[in-house]
Every structure is written in structure tokens, then in C-alpha cells.
Amino acid sequence: MDSVDLDTSSDGVAVVRLSRPDRLNAINETMRDELLSTFAALASDRDVRAVVLTGAGRGFCSGIDVRDFGPGLVDAAAPAIDRMRFQEAMAGLPRAVRELPQPVVAAVNGACVGAGFALVLASDVRICSTAATFGNAAILLGLSGAEMGMSYHLPRIVGTSVAADWMLTGRTVTADEADRRGLVSQVVAPDDLDTRALELAALIAGHAPLGVELTKRALQVNTDAAHLDAALELENRNQVLTHATDDAADRRATWSGR
């Protein structure tokens, strides 16, 4: 692939690396399509039990490459239906991340802006280096700050007030602020980021696949549960399903407590 590197050399873990470092991994048409095809392939790969998403070079992703996106980029003069189709195609990226059966660990190594931020928000676990920064840049371009799932994911992660601050101002958020607000679960030194991301993904990949997948799905569904009873109903069914698997039986047989 031209703009996405896929590494499956680690047992049970796939590393998806955005690879246009000369453009701070800005997403062009080629990268968008390669990401979508990569996620589609990973979704059906039973050997991959966790995914790490990161960027090459000094940035994670600087957003959409408006200077060199490709022929699919539409301008303000294009018919509204064409602009809608472009937005829908871009919105397919966070949807593809969220819909992966495997948990996704986003390892943010540097600037993470716009479409890149949307990919990170759609991930299940987010960690970053001390060099990472985050931003919703659309508002700075005269556009809506709500795009690519941003207004859905961000308030659920950091709360409505903080999300409104970041989305309405478009200001740059440091790694320290991201940590304080709960956007990321860990901040590590830049040289340690890849190692820590792989360690987390390996821990996840070491668990029973069905238990992991149903945990991911329950977290997604129960974030929007109408009430506790609905959340408990889903959890109860998931436990019954996983209890009957060979994986669970094997692990119970060897469990000695921790």
C-alpha cells in the first residue's frame, strides 16, 4: 500500500500505521481508501485479536489533505449531493474503526487533528506520547466542528462542557490536558509509545476472543443504554454466551486467582 503500513508480525496484534510522514500523515483519497480496505480485511481476520493504530514520523494525522487529496475532493461550488457523498465517505473511517470486532488501541505520537482526531475518538483505548497534541480544526476553516462522529464520541469521552470548549474554539489540546480530561488513559515518553501500545494490545489479544468482542460491544451499546435494566440485560446475556465457550472452560480450569 502507498500510504498505510500493516504489520502483523506480533502474535495476535496488527499495527496499522498511517504513512505519509512528509504530510504529517494527512488523509488523502488513497489513504482513506487504503484504511477502509485494511479495516475491512482485519475485521474478518480471526488471527488478529487486537489492533494498534498509529502514525509514522512526528505526527499522528494532520487531518484531511485539502491541498493534495485527489480527484474525489469536492469544493464549495459542487452540488450539495456531491458534498454530502464526500462527507459520508469520510465518515466511513471512524465507523470502520468502531465496527471492528477487535479492540483498537490508538497510539498518538504527535499532532492529531480533524479527521485524525475522529479516528482516535472512535478507538477503544487511547494513549499518547508527551509530544501529542489534539485539535478540531474544522471550526477554524469556517466549517462546523461537528464531523466524522466528533459530536457523538467526544462528549461521551470527556463530557459535554469540555467537548464544547474544544469543538467551538478549535484550540490545541496538549497531552497533559488530554490526560486530565480523560481523553487518554496513559501518557508516555515518545520513545516508549510503540512499546506500550503493543503491550496493551498484547494483553487484550491474550484474552478469550469472544469475551473481548462482547466486552467491546457492551461498552459501546451501554454507553447509550436507556436505563440500568437494559444494560444489565445485555451484560447477563453476554455472560451466559461466553460461559459456555471452550475458551472460558479452559481458563477456569487453570485459574488460580490473582
pLDDT value at residue 247 = 73
Q: How many helices and strands, by DSSP H and E, does the chain display?
A: 10, 10
Task: Count how many domains the chain has.
Answer: 2
More confident site: 246 or 189: 189
User: Do 217 and 160 fall within a single domain?
Assistant: no
User: Do 213 and 201 fall within a single domain?
Assistant: no
Q: What is the arithmetic mean of pLDDT over 49-78?
A: 93
User: Do 131 and 214 fall within a single domain?
Assistant: no
DSSP state of 11: T
More confident site: 90 or 137: 90
For residue range 108-121, list pLDDT tens digits in order: 999 999 999 999 99
Domain stops at, among 190, 205, 220 = 205
The pLDDT-based confidence of 15 (bands split at 50, 70, 90) is very high
DSSP state of 29: H
For residue range 73-82, list pLDDT tens digits in order: 888 889 999 9
**Mean pLDDT over the full length of the chain:** 94
Please report, for residues 127, 233, 240, 252, the alpha-carbon distance to residue 257 in angstroms, rounded to integers and kept in the order given.
28, 27, 21, 10
User: Do 159 and 230 fall within a single domain?
Assistant: no
pLDDT value at residue 105 = 98
More confident site: 202 or 251: 202
User: Do 115 and 192 fall within a single domain?
Assistant: yes
User: Do 111 and 218 fall within a single domain?
Assistant: no
Cα 184 to Cα 23: distance, rounded to the nearest angstrom: 25
Cα 13 to Cα 156: distance, rounded to the nearest angstrom: 27
pLDDT more than 90, % of the chain: 85
CATH number of the domain to which 9 belongs: 3.90.226.10
Q: What is the arithmetic mean of pLDDT over 91-105?
A: 98
pLDDT value at residue 257 = 57
pLDDT value at residue 258 = 52
Cα 237 to Cα 159: distance, rounded to the nearest angstrom: 29
pLDDT value at residue 73 = 86
Task: Determine how many CB atoms are found less than 10 A away from the CB of residue 142.
Answer: 7
User: Do 165 and 241 fall within a single domain?
Assistant: no
User: Do 118 and 173 fall within a single domain?
Assistant: yes
Domain stops at, among 169, 186, 205 = 205
The pLDDT-based confidence of 256 (bands split at 50, 70, 90) is low
pTM, 2 dp: 0.94
pLDDT value at residue 12 = 97
Domain around 245: 209-254
**DSSP-assigned states of every residue in 111-142:** EEETHHHHHHHHSSEEEEETT-EEE--GGGGT
The pLDDT-based confidence of 254 (bands split at 50, 70, 90) is confident
User: Do 143 and 229 fall within a single domain?
Assistant: no
